[in-house]
């Protein structure tokens, strides 16, 4: 999954033609490390329908603050510049796919 920064967020996420899933994470977050390979798997299967990006909250504090990301991992799905789905906490692959089924 590609990384996105505060500086690129507007162009890469809010102005995207297709839905964008952003995984807000940090190096020290155990549950984030559990979710990362699951998201990579989902991205490899559904990357044509939805763009998958990740944002390190320690290196990019502005965007998480703007979207009130208080716990990680938080997964936000953006469509047309708006948050259309928020998933907080680690989930197994089946649960994530269920949450995302209307998008993928």
Active site residues: 29, 32
- CA distances to 5, 8, 50, 80 from 103, rounded to whole Å, are 23, 23, 7, 13
Q: Measure the N-to-C terminal CA separation of the chain; round to a whole number of Å.
A: 16
Count of H-run helices and E-run strands, the chain: 4, 5
């Amino acid at each position: 999954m590609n990384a996105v920064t505060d500086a690129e967020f507007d162009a890469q996420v809010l102005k995207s033609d297709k839905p964008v899933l952003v995984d807000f994470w940090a190096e020290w977050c155990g549950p984030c490390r559990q979710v990362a390979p699951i998201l990579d798997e989902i991205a490899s299967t559904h990357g044509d329908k939805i763009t998958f990006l990740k944002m390190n909250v320690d290196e990019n504090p502005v965007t998480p603050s703007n979207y009130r990301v208080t716990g990680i991992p938080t997964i936000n799905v953006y469509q047309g510049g708006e948050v259309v789905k928020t998933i907080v906490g680690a989930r197994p692959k089946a649960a994530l796919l269920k949450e995302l089924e209307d998008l993928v």
